Amino acid sequence: MENSSQESHLRSENSVTYESPYQLYAMALSSSSASRHQRIALGSFIEDFNNRVDIVSFDPETLSIKTHPSLSFDHPYPPTKLMFQPTSLRKSSDLLASSGDFLRLWEVRDSSVEPLTVLNNSKSSEFCAPLTSFDWNEIEPKRLGTSSIDTTCTIWDIERGVVETQLIAHDKEVYDICWGEARVFASVSADGSVRIFDLRDKEHSTIIYESPQPDTPLLRLAWNKQDLRYMATVLMDSNKVVILDIRSPTMPVAELERHKAGVNAIAWAPQSCRHICSVGDDTQALIWELPPVAGPNGIDPMSMYSAGSFESLRLDDCGIILFKIP
Amino acid sequence: MATTGIQNHERVPENLKKQLALAVRSIQWSYAIFWSISAGQSGVLEWGDGYYNGDIKTRKTIQAVELNSDQLGLQRSEQLRELYESLSAGESNPQASRRPSAALSPEDLTDTEWYYLVCMSFVFNIGEGLPGRALANDEPIWLCNAHFADSKVFSRSLLAKSATIQTVVCFPFLQGVVELGTTDLVLEDHSFIQQIKSSFLDFPYPIISKMSSSSAVNMRNDKDLARSALDPKILDTTMVPVIGCQVFEMASPNDSSNGIEPNQLAEDSFVVEGINGVASQVQSWQFLEDEFSNCIHHSMNSSDCISQTLVDPGKVVSASKDDIKAIEKCLQEVQECKDTKLTSLDLRGNDLHYQSVLSALLKTSHQLGPNFQNCNQESSFCSWKKGGLMMNCKIQRDGIAQKLLKKILFEVPRMNDDRLLETSEENCIKDDVYRPEADEIAANLHVLSERKRREKLNKRFITLKSLVPSISKFDKVSILDDTIIYLQDLERKVGELESRLELPELEGRTNRKQKDTVERTFDNYGNDKISNGKKALNKRKASNIDEMEPEIEYVVLKDGSIDNLTVSINDKNVLIDIKCTWREGILIEIMDAISNLHLDSHSVQSSTAEGVLCVTIKSKYKGMNVASAGMIRQSLQRVVWKC
């Protein structure tokens, strides 16, 4: 439930603990400007309608987390993902998006959070198919892509609040989506494939990986923003992080298999093209440095952190945020 | 670190960069660095100035003015310096935005540029390292295969390896060391060094009349842009004659627009300097050489006035190797004012130094873990051990792997979906949704068979669509829907027909039967004639409609009506058979309707008996607008059954 460990020797200068009153899943870091403290949005995981999103702020100088009760708001069902707009165009506020029953946009001001829009991609119904994840385009911050269990991905123009495109991306539920370039995104699905889509050619997609056992769902996807040739994905019930090179489809360039149990989340380092962090059911967070050529015995992680069990993580300039569940 | 860098910049004469540039460009090497004796630490060589002449990955075109390659090189070197300063400034002040002004970012750099950039962070004790030894022994050092050199000999060998720097040459020059490097292997050649030294670097410096300090400050403020705007022509013309020549005595009265007093300039490259208002640099250059009294320099840096005054005597004294002890105190004071980071960095091994600089530059010190333990703060991460911390691992809580992740992906959507029970599934996907065809790059059997299966499926759907007459939309769901309705309809009709068999034969039924046979023959004829598959399909469709028509008629007849309407299409020929209740003007209306459908009637037969009109019309399509049999029937029905 808290994002650090109870063991005292791990309470080093660089680890900060925030204890949330409820179990957490979704989490987002704001792309903070220098003047403001970095904000962290935390989404509760309560298996019920009533859920909460809390905004806390992190001060890297004093290494402390400050709560803002006025910035807490209700969310219907647990948000499946939270994300701040990557490059904030607004001076006084942050834009936060959440996915779940709909894609929702929130304006986080200094002392309040205002719901901006509820985006529904279905014209014929007042409901849209539940969303599993989304990703905000860093290059084109008005563009946002959602993935849904109805096998589609929807590309939104959030400035105008309209659907730019909807694609039937997979044969089964789409579990994660990730932008590479302004018009290129990739997604993973229960059909076990990683596919790349280019908005300029909507008639085709490219399958760059399929899980070795047919129909083993792929749950998570992370595209290396520093080196777009590489992406990483996580299979269901697998302790592997599969590293893909889009130039050699179907054959992973590396499989990182030092976790002793299932992998929950992956994230590439924001500033380095060769480092990736993964967290797993084995209560470890591992940092891997990808060698130019993988050796015969596989790749060992360069460092590890062990405490609790992690379900979500974000890498950012200020460090790594991990969640532990009780 | 940053402040040191800036001071270096002030301290090292501006025209040195140009000289380095000329030297390195003439021999086509990758870079030239001038290591100067540090003002902050005695007995230490640090970055003085440099010129980068190697490979460039990207060049951001920010400059408004068109620059020649020489200026581009100078500008690149400046930008690299700027980048280094902004990166190291970011390190000491993490709150500040990381790269405030640098025109370049680390991603834009080639390996060689990285090498050059990281060199900026190095300092050498005199007598240590390549530059240090060159200065201590007062002789040049020529290092081939630098990238394989022992790190004790050449501390940057690892770095050089990544940049494929193969040859490095250091020679003492003035009060520092000039280092030249190239990615090629060049064998030792002392005359080569001599040549560089004499032809480019050993300029005799003319005596320049003193200037007021205020003008010096003004001139100093003239930044590169102003300079680059002014000097292309001059630089171009001076480049050629300088090579190989010793000295041009060229006294030119300098009427500079910057309001500098006319200076007596002798050497041609100084013409450039003079015009550009950097004459003060010449002066400071010169004061290193001989004079001690020159203090104009100090006023240049108003913010750092005190430390500057301390620096300059120190430097000059050490330069002339005079009375060092007397100055040592001052130096120590200066040193205390300095950023201690540089000193501490220097104390560590060179490998650690490199790592810490890199991690600082890359801002990944937290994430890079154990290899970078020399960061100021300790990381929460520890280095990974095989099977380490096994006792801490509670593998698979509750026996479910990836429990929360699965809940989020599998169960939360279901929670949301509970509301959707009343809304049907297909509502969620719109008709205009793109369905990209997945292109597989590799020949994957599973994928291939899947694709084949889908192709087959699509083909069957098209066939089904051609079989069912009233299909409006071309998506799979509506094809199936229409087929279901059609089949139900057919079943109902079959039932009716079977029940009719028991009824006494109706008049006209035999007629119809005959007609059916006629039409079939006609169709077969068409089939023989038309080999094109697509058209055959069309025709089959038409004949299907035909087959259905009589059945409709029977229904109608059963209801007591006598109306009947058949349309059959064969290629461009349309045969229309109408039997209906006669009323006034009905024939004209029928003909109007037919011509509205772009049909050209060439034969009309009509007869009226007992108030029943029988019309047989043979027509052809005219033009490209082809109406389907269904459309023709519909519009005729509208006319026929109007009353």
Q: Is the CB of B393 less than 8 angstroms away from the CB of A319?
A: no
Q: Which of A118-122, A175-179, B492-496 has the highest mean pLDDT?
A: A175-179
Please judge whether B415 and A77 are an interchain contact, meaning their C-beta atoms are less than 8 angstroms apart: yes
Q: Among A223-237, B58-72, B294-308, B570-584, whose mean pLDDT is lowest?
A: B294-308
> Which chain A residues are within 8 Å of B413, Cβ to Cβ?
80, 129-132, 149, 173
B299: pLDDT strictly greater than 70: no
The counts of H helices and E strands in chain A are 0, 27
CB neighbours of residue B502 within 10 Å? 6
Q: Is the pLDDT of residue B361 over 90?
A: no
Is A25–B379 a contact, with Cβ atoms under 8 angstroms apart?
no
- Inter-chain contact B434–A165, Cβ cutoff 8 Å? yes
Of all residues in chain B, what percent carry a pLDDT higher than 90?
0
Q: pLDDT at position B438, please?
A: 67
**Residue B423 to residue A127, Cβ atoms within 8 A:** yes
Range from B26-40, B206-220, B315-329 that averages highest in pLDDT = B26-40
CA dist., res. A266 & res. A201, Å (int): 29
Q: Please report the pLDDT score of residue B532 as a whole number.
A: 41
The pLDDT of residue B202 is 56
Confidence label for B544 from pLDDT (cuts 50, 70 and 90): very low
Q: How far is CA B442 from CA A194, A209, A251, in A?
A: 13, 10, 9
How confident is the prediction for chain A on average, in pLDDT?
Answer: 83
ipTM comes to 0.84
Residues of B in contact with A10 (CB under 8 A): 380
Hey, are the CB atoms on A202 and B434 less than 8 Å from each other?
yes
**CB–CB contact B389 A284 (8 Å):** yes
Q: What is the DSSP string of B246-281?
A: ------EE---TT-PPP-EE-SHHHHHHHHTT-HHH
CB contact B391 to A (< 8 Å) = no
Of A10, A236, A269, the CB nearest to B380: A10
B48-to-B7, B28, B39 alpha-carbon distances in Å: 9, 21, 10
| pLDDT class of A185 with cuts at 50, 70, 90 | very high
Q: How far is CA B535 from the centre of its chain?
A: 50
What are the start-end ranges of the H helices in B348-396?
350-362
Residue numbers in A near B382 (CB within 8 A): 303-305
* Helix/strand/coil for B337: helix
B413–A132 C-beta distance less than 8 A: yes
DSSP string, A182-234: SSEEEEEETTSEEEEEETTEEEEEEEEEE-SSTTPPEEEEEE-SSSTTEEEEE
Chain B residue numbers with beta carbons less than 8 Å from the beta carbon of A155 are none
Give chain B positions within 8 Å (CB) of A319.
366-367
Calpha distance A170→A194 (Å, rounded) = 9
d(CA B408, CA A26): 9
The C-alpha torsion from B103 through B108 and B114 to B117, rounded to 10°, is 0
Quote the CA–CA distance of B490 and B544 in Å, as a whole number. Answer: 12
- Asked whether residue B578 carries a pLDDT value surpassing 70, the answer given is yes
Calculated CA dihedral for residues A169, A170, A175, A179, nearest 10 degrees: -30
Whether residues A287 and B369 touch (CB distance < 8 A) is answered with: yes
In whole angstroms, give the CA distance from residue B122 to residue A56: 41
- % residues pLDDT > 70 (chain A): 85
B404 contacts on A by Cβ (under 8 Å): 25, 45, 264, 311, 325
Are B427 and A125 an interchain contact pair (Cβ–Cβ within 8 Å)?
yes
Q: Where are the beta strands (DSSP E) in A10-112?
A: 24-29, 38-44, 50-59, 64-67, 73-76, 81-84, 94-99, 103-108
> Is there a contact between B417 and A263 if contact means CB atoms under 8 Å apart?
no
Beta bridge partners of A206: A196, B439
Q: Is B404 on the interface with A (CB under 8 A)?
A: yes
Q: Which residue has the higher pLDDT, B443 or A241?
A: A241
User: Does position A143 have pLDDT exceeding 90, yes or no?
Assistant: yes
- Residue contact A47–B411, C-beta within 8 A: yes
The per-residue pLDDT for range B109-152, each reduced to its tens digit, is: 788 888 888 888 888 888 888 888 888 888 888 888 887 777 77
Confidence at residue A310, expressed as pLDDT on a 0 to 100 scale: 63
Round to whole Å and give the CA distance between B588 and B632.
Answer: 16
- Please tell me the distance in Å from B485's CA to the nearest CA on chain A: 24
Which residues of chain B neighbour A249 with C-beta distances below 8 Å? 440-442
Q: Which pLDDT score is estimated for B237?
A: 34
Q: What is the mean pLDDT of residues B32-52?
A: 83
The nearest CA of chain B is from the CA of A70 a distance in Å of 26
Residue A55, number of CB atoms within 10 A of its CB: 24
Residue from B433, B444, B447, B448 to probe the interface with A (highest A Cβ count within 10 Å): B433
What pLDDT sits at residue B214? 35
pLDDT at B333 over 90: no
Instruction: Calculate mean pLDDT across residues A293-320.
Output: 70
Q: What digits encode the pLDDT tens for the residues B53-105?
A: 887 765 544 444 455 667 777 878 888 888 887 777 654 444 444 444 456 67
Of the candidates B289, B306, B288, B290, which has an alpha carbon nearest to the alpha carbon of residue B298?
B306
Residues of B in contact with A325 (CB under 8 A): 404
Suggest the residue from B362, B394, B416, B432 to mutate for an interface test with chain A (most A CBs closer than 10 A).
B416
Residues 472-501 of B with CB under 8 A from A: none
Mean pLDDT value of segment B228-250: 35
User: Side chain identity at A52, as an amino acid letter?
Assistant: R
Of residues A210, A283, A286, nearest to B394 (C-beta): A283
If pLDDT is split at 50, 70 and 90, which confidence band does A134 have? Answer: very high
Instruction: Identify the pLDDT of residue B418.
Output: 62
**Which parts of B133-212 are beta strand (E)?**
141-143, 167-173, 176-182
CB within 8 Å: B384 and A302 = yes
CB A223 within 8 A of CB A234: no
Q: How many CB pairs under 8 A join A and B?
A: 237
Read off the pLDDT of residues B178-237 as tens digits, 9 standing for 90 and up: 888 888 888 887 787 777 777 666 554 433 333 333 333 333 333 333 343 333 333 333
- Smallest Cβ distance to A249: which of B366, B432, B442? B442
pLDDT at residue number A154 = 93
**Which of A13, A298, A303, A205 lies closest to B367, judged by CA?**
A303
CB contact under 8 A, B369 and A125: no
Between the CA of residue B621 and those of A30, B524, B569, B571, B602, what are the distances in Å? Answer: 67, 21, 10, 9, 11
**Minimal Cα–Cα distance from A187 to chain B, Å?**
13
pLDDT at B301: 35
Cβ atoms of B382 and B370 closer than 8 Å: yes
Mean pLDDT of A219-223: 94
Residues of A within 8 A of B477 (CB-CB) are none
φ and ψ of B453, to 5 deg: -60, -45
**For residue B436, which residues of chain A lie inside 8 Å, CB to CB?**
167-169, 197, 202-205
Q: What one-character DSSP code corresponds to residue A27?
A: E
In chain B, residues with a C-beta closer than 8 Å to the C-beta of A165 are 434
Nearest to A207 among B96, B401, B447 (CB): B447
Selected residue with higher pLDDT from A206 and B386: A206
Whether residue B305 has pLDDT greater than 80: no
Which positions in chain B touch A219 (Cβ < 8 Å)?
Answer: 402, 405-406, 409
Read off the pLDDT of residues B393-437 as tens digits, 9 standing for 90 and up: 445 455 677 888 888 888 888 777 665 544 444 444 555 677 777
